[in-house]
Structure 1
Amino acid sequence: MPTQDPECPVTQPPSSLRRWLPVALIATGAMAGAVFLRDQLSFETLRDNREALVAFRDAHPVTMPLLFVAAYAAIVAFSLPGALAATLTGGFLFGVFPGVLYNAGAASIGAVAIFLAVRAGFGDGLRARIDASDGAVRRLSEGLRANEVPVLLSMRLIPVVPFFIANLIPAFLGVSVWRFAWTTALGILPGGLVYTWVGSGLGEVFARGEAPDLGIIFEPFVLGPILGLVALSLLPIALKALRRT
């Protein structure tokens, strides 16, 4: 039986290094962004630089959307505190349409990036441990997997679960990339549309020296339809429960 040469150090398999590298990069970027960009990704920054942004957009009508989507996706992927300001910026620069498409697309790209990094790092191992366990955690995991689409959509439509956590849970449970991507893109559209619409009116808000009304999403005429979509997304779960009774 071969033995390890005592003078030869034990090294980590390259596959393990590659598996953890995306998680390490995202964690490093998140910490660096929280330290150096915390005060830059804000409504105040947009207000103070609005003329330069508009001028750049007008001078580079193709480059600007690409740069915006890349920056917004990076904010989401690294879980930086600026997603709402980015959504407002998308509406301010590009209008409700195509601004909402840029916003939803960028947020989805960033969410998929962190989802893939976490799943590559320890999603499969954690899922195996959950499956091997016995108790409430395993039952909760099985319940979520049995109703993946309704649960994923409801988490996005009404973000009672923070966006960052909603990216981690599916990675831990082994949700397919395609299912995670389309439920994310579809689920964030209603709320994203509201804030993109608010952002599209920031020109007048800036002219009056005011701040945008971000609480508009809780107004009945906005919240009501969103809650209706949540109820619709959870209908399959309710029907399954009724069949079992």
Structure 2
Amino acid sequence: MSRKWVWGILLIGIILTASIVLGPSLTLENAKLQQSLLNEYIQSHLISAAALYFFSYLVITALSIPGAAVVTLLGAALFGFWLSLLLVSFASTLGATLAFLSSRFLLREWVQKRFGAKLETINRGMDRDGAFYLFSLRLIPVFPFFLINLLMGLTSIKATRYYWVSQLGMLPGTAVYLNAGTQLAQIDSLAGIVSPSVLLAFALLGVFPLLMKWLLNKLPHRRSDAT
């Protein structure tokens, strides 16, 4: 068995183990339950708390562990909008790039076999629109983000371009989720759920993909030759 296969099997084992251990705890109910305890720690250890959150988010994204959306909402509730936007934006993009690189260099054969049909769709889109296609997928995720990370690793796009296009493409959606998270942190009773600010924040979550689709249709599709 080649060294590449050994590393690939080891990585898959880590992902499965982390999903089983961490997945069930990454729920909105548990996040709200832990919020008050976390707030006390953050008030006295802001830098270390921010670093821990950043690293945890990066690992969750890199290993494709379910629950990133809940962790995003929790980040806004704990750190506020602007600091959480900084942390989540860079952690999610770095994690996505690590997943991209693992697919390209460690899991290529497994991804090709498991998601070959979807890879054909990705390749057609990249041939047609280049990096703009990745940008559109980040704005309107036709595929789950973890699948985009894995499938893009099998295309010819450069890792540096993948990083900055993902950084820009995921930023608007990240901001919408974090805005919802800041509103969620203010809910203390059932009455708070129907407050105008909360309703508006969550309405944006539903309207955002439609708005981005309309915007992309208005933009010229300029193919990038240097993919």
TM-score by length of 2: 0.81
Q: 1:185 to 1:53 in 2, by over 3 A?
A: same
Q: Is the 8 A contact 1:190 1:226 kept in 2?
A: no
Aligned AA for 1:191? G
Specify every segment of 5 or more residues in structure 2 that has no aligned partner in the other structure, as ranges.
113-118
Q: What is the CA distance between 1:230 and its match in structure 2?
A: 2.7
Q: 1:105 to 1:23 in 2, by over 3 A?
A: farther
Q: Does 1:160 align with 2:142?
A: yes
Specify every segment of 5 or more residues in structure 1 that has no aligned partner in the other structure, as ranges.
1-11, 128-136, 238-245
Deviates more, 1:116-125 or 1:88-97: 116-125
1:197 paired residue number: 179
Choose which of 160, 182, 193 in structure 1 pairs with 2:164: 182
1:243 paired residue number: none
Q: Secondary structure at the match of 1:72?
A: helix
Q: Is the 8 A contact 1:20 1:121 kept in 2?
A: yes
2:212 paired residue number: 226
Q: Does 1:33 align with 2:18?
A: yes
Aligned AA for 1:47? K
Aligned AA for 1:53? L
Mapping 1:92-171, distance limit 5 Å: 92-123=77-108, 141=123, 144-145=126-127, 147-171=129-153
Q: Does 1:58 align with 2:58?
A: no
Q: Is the 8 A contact 1:105 1:185 kept in 2?
A: yes
Q: 1:178 to 1:47 in 2, by over 3 A?
A: same
Work out the number of aligned pairs and report it: 211
TM-score by length of 1: 0.75
Deviates more, 1:52-61 or 1:141-150: 141-150
Root mean square deviation of aligned Cα: 2.8
2:189 paired residue number: 208
Q: Secondary structure at the match of 1:93?
A: helix
Q: Is the 8 A contact 2:103 2:151 kept in 1?
A: no
Q: Is the 8 A contact 2:27 2:70 kept in 1?
A: yes
* Structure with the greater alpha carbon radius of gyration: 1
Q: Is the 8 A contact 2:111 2:151 kept in 1?
A: no
Q: Secondary structure at the match of 1:183?
A: helix
Aligned AA for 2:38? L
Q: 1:188 to 1:21 in 2, by over 3 A?
A: farther
Q: Is the 8 A contact 2:122 2:151 kept in 1?
A: no
Among all aligned residue pairs of Structure 1 and Structure 2, give the percentage whose two residues are the same amino acid: 26
Q: 1:125 to 1:82 in 2, by over 3 A?
A: closer
